[in-house]
Structure 1
């Protein structure tokens, strides 16, 4: 294999990428706006949930309950009538509608157990799931305070001291931003190499390559290093500009170590992209293969949900996928500040899996060129 051929062929791939505006837009979006929106769009904590209250009691206790809902968890409650409630929820104006019945305070003081009705718009899944517990806790707390005639912290038999490590503010944006960087690296690594090979077929330049004094290995290595370099540069800029800059997410670990791990991940995943491109006959077929391969790999890798929550057989099977080891490595470095002494097994696994995928893809690529 001649390095001059590999270099020149790689430069040719970069020039071809520069002439493809759709892929350029995808790269910029994946490592900028996609990361920012993933960090900001779907907070796990309740934020500005719309609530309405039907106060049929008009008592001191019902006023206290209504006054307990305030920003940032809820918007200021809208005081409505029973006749308005269904229409407003049908129109999607409120996520929660709390109905306090008549004589609620009197029945409570008399030792009875009055019932408060909470209507929830379950189509707003995240707010509905989280906010129901918030509403129940607020109502229970206000009722207990009213009955005890004083505001006091509940007495617990044991004192629980919470120390949140690595994310002391429990900010969901920290996790969302870094997780999207990991996802974008894997997705773009497959897409760019696969598209580069399919572009050769669609433009008819594969025949030109076959009559040139270059080998299949040189062609494949050129596609891998050029497209991998683009993703590697874009991911480094995304962490520096978007994650650390715009989102102000602190990175406790070593960025050079993460970049090295990313290079090994791209070594494996770009080879997989070339293999998929040799199987697919066109770009639409490649897109279908990408969905069938990328989504299961990403969902079961531990990026979105912990691997420990999956069946053991799935955990064992997914050890053959590079995503699994890359997710463990990236989360350890970027979240917990792990060093080489912690992540070296994942680095070795990525190198081994990448070499296997490279050899398999090269065998298929040689058959593709014949």
Structure 2
């Protein structure tokens, strides 16, 4: 009981110290509010208001219909341009797409001569270029088919394809990027806050004061872990409720309390990494450099940015030993697909086991450094 009391009171000291540090407090508020909004709204990967120009060298009924077939919100209204300006407009990036309809296109099509349309694409906007090219091909094919058959709808195909998009029916990027932004902020801040708490004690010379008190290095480390984890867990919960659900109007299918249980387990791992790095670093700049070596690979290879299936087999196997990989899978299963505990509990166990190993390493290292300092 004395150990628990020491951990509790040392943790309250950490909380008071944190709320007096306006820089760290501002970083937490920004990371779970404005940063989430910016990532959700500026990282859109769907086609929206793409600029389009049309070179109409045919001036026929069909060419006019083709130019008018590109509609908002995917494309802006087509702007007529001259054929001699195509290269200049593409080089200057004035338009993402330029459709060139050759002379006598309608006459050759009706005569069965298989004329060719030229669709120029600025692929520097890679995501929009790829999606827009596919949309344009479908739009032009449907419009030409309707013109040839003189029907409002093209002739039905022999085999129909029914596509059902689950969990994100409109393919809105913000639904994915907002939650992934929260996960990235959890990793970043848990390492920085826990590490900064230890480095700050060392820089201010207060770690020696703690060591002469009737407390153990284990109690000091655990106090920093629970205090910083509590701050981040509270920020995550507020961000999900007020930023994701209310401000961005993004639906959450699953149980937020179940997800917060996963957050609590993951925070033991991430804060332990922060303490471990702080026992190596002597100053905050050194801690920042070590953070880049650890946190960036954890985020990039966790499956939040690139699916694990797209990675080399040996890398997929290695990343199974990372709690960040399991945490991303848990977050996607619970928040996107509404999974229950019966589905995610194996990953809970794996994340807790791996986190316990890193926690033991952090505590061992912290004891060693504290003994040397004493």
**Where do 1:50-89 residues align within 5 Å?**
50-89=51-90
Say yes or no: does 1:158 pair with 2:159: yes
CA distance in 1, matches of 2:143, 2:54: 15
Q: Look up the match of 2:194.
A: 193
Change (3 A) 1:55 1:159: closer
Number of the residue aligned with 1:118: 119
Deviation, structure 1 residue 110: 2.4
Which shifted more, 110-119 or 26-35?
Answer: 110-119
Offset from partner CA, 1:71-99 (integer Å, 9 cap, x none): 10001111111233333333332111111
Q: In 1, are the aligned partners of 2:333 and 2:344 still within 8 Å (CA)? A: yes
Gaps of 5+ in 2: none
Report which stretch shifted further, 151-160 or 293-302: 151-160
In structure 2, C-alpha distance between the alignment counterparts of 1:256 and 1:328, rounded to whole Å: 16
CA–CA separation in structure 1 for the residues paired with 2:319 and 2:33 = 29
Structure 1 residues 238-261: Cα deviation after superposition (integer angstroms, max 9, x where no partner): 011011111222222221111111
Measured in 2, the distance between the counterparts of 1:120 and 1:167 equals: 28
Task: Show CA shifts across 1:43-81 (max 9, x none).
Answer: 232100011111121111110110011210001111111
Q: 9-18 vs 222-231, which deviates more?
A: 9-18
Structure-2 residue corresponding to 1:296: 297
Q: Where does residue 25 of structure 2 map in the other structure?
A: 24
CA distance, structure 1, for counterparts of residue 286 and residue 156 of structure 2? 63
Q: Distance in 1 between matches of 2:157 and 2:204?
A: 72
TM-score relative to the length of structure 1: 0.94
Report the CA distance between 1:154 and its aligned residue. Answer: 4.2
Q: Do 2:142 and 2:154's aligned partners in 1 also have CA atoms closer than 8 Å? A: no
Secondary structure of the residue that 2:50 maps to in structure 1? coil
User: Comparing 5-14 with 271-280, which one deviates more in the overlay?
Assistant: 5-14
2:40 equivalent in structure 1: 39
Residue equivalent to 2:150: 149
Superposition deviation, residue 168 in structure 1: 3.1
**How far, CA to CA, are the matches of 1:365 and 1:167 in structure 2?**
45
Aligned residue-pair number? 370
RMSD of Structure 2 on Structure 1 (CA):
1.8
Structure 1, unpaired ranges of 5+ = none
Taking the aligned partners of 1:14 and 1:83, their CA distance within structure 2 comes to 67
Corresponding residue for residue 131 of structure 1:
132
Counterpart position of 2:93: 92
2:288 equivalent in structure 1: 287
Match for residue 311 of structure 1? 312
CA distance, structure 1, for counterparts of residue 349 and residue 91 of structure 2: 56
Match of 1:243 in 2: 244
TM-score by length of 2: 0.93
C-alpha deviation, 1:308, in angstroms: 2.5
The equivalent of 2:226 in structure 1 is 225
1:231 CA displacement: 0.5
Which stretch shows the higher mean deviation, 84-93 or 320-329?
A: 84-93
How far 1:362 sits from its partner (Å)? 0.8
SS in 1 for 2:137: helix
Conserved in 1, the CA contact under 8 Å of 2:46 and 2:171?
no
Task: Tell me the CA shift for residue 31 of structure 1.
Answer: 0.8
Q: 1 CA distance for matches of 2:21 and 2:46?
A: 40
Does the CA contact (< 8 Å) of 2:11 and 2:223 recur in 1?
A: yes
Deviations 1:205-244 (A, max 9, x none): 2222222222111110111011100100000000110111
